[in-house]
Amino acid sequence: MKTLLLCTTFTVFCCVSMFAQINFLDGYIISNKNDTIYGKIKYTTPALRSSKVIFMKNGETEKVTYKPFQIKGYYVAETAYDSKIYDIDLSLPYGYGAFMERRNEGIVKLYYYWNTDKERGFTQTFIENDGDYLLEVDFVGFKRQMTRYFEDFPKLQSKIKQGTYKKKDLEQIVAEYNEWKDSEW
């Protein structure tokens, strides 16, 4: 009986230990000094990935939790997350920090942010022009907002106005704009 209890306890301990390690994936963080530090990152829910990152440096077992602006960002599961100011809560003077999923590279960046009001979760979409302020994409007034935003590129503006590009094409819109901007240099 004692042996059975000991074996069961050992088996449960091993399973729990293995399961705990499964959630950690290879990745890295970018420090505020722009250092890239490789290690393992706990892959959690989208809402938790937006608010914190749990990191273990390569070769170490100590877990360190970072919140937005304690680091510039992190990369895990082929996805980059950047520290950004989420400015929706008007009662706060400067908004609050969040890790936002960066969907592209280029002058205009596209970000997804998983928000939650404690009852439900939802994704918000933002664009940012060369480090300027984040603009939440208004999917109700999409045509009007995007034709204003990309007004310096009349060909793209025309495609949006004519309905060639719709809301579902936002990543393509941003990519085309960035290609055009790069060719201007």
The structural domains of the chain, with segments of one domain joined by +, span: 1-77, 103-185
Identity of the amino acid at 139? F
Q: According to the model, what pLDDT value does residue 89 have?
A: 57
Could you give phi then psi for residue 29, rounded to 5 degrees?
-115, 155
Residue 3's contacts (CB-CB under 8 Å, 6 or more residues apart) are none
Whether pLDDT at 22 is above 70? no
Whether domain 1-77 has CATH 3.30.1390: the reply is: no
| Mean pLDDT (whole number) for 27-38 | 98
Q: Enumerate long-range contacts of 172-177, CB under 8 Å, 24 or more apart.
A: 173/146, 174/103, 174/104, 174/106, 174/108, 174/109, 174/110, 174/127, 175/104, 175/106, 177/106, 177/107, 177/108, 177/150, 177/153
pTM given for the model? 0.81
Whether pLDDT at 70 is above 90? yes
Query: What is the tens place of the pLDDT at every residue in 38-57?
Result: 999 999 999 899 999 999 99
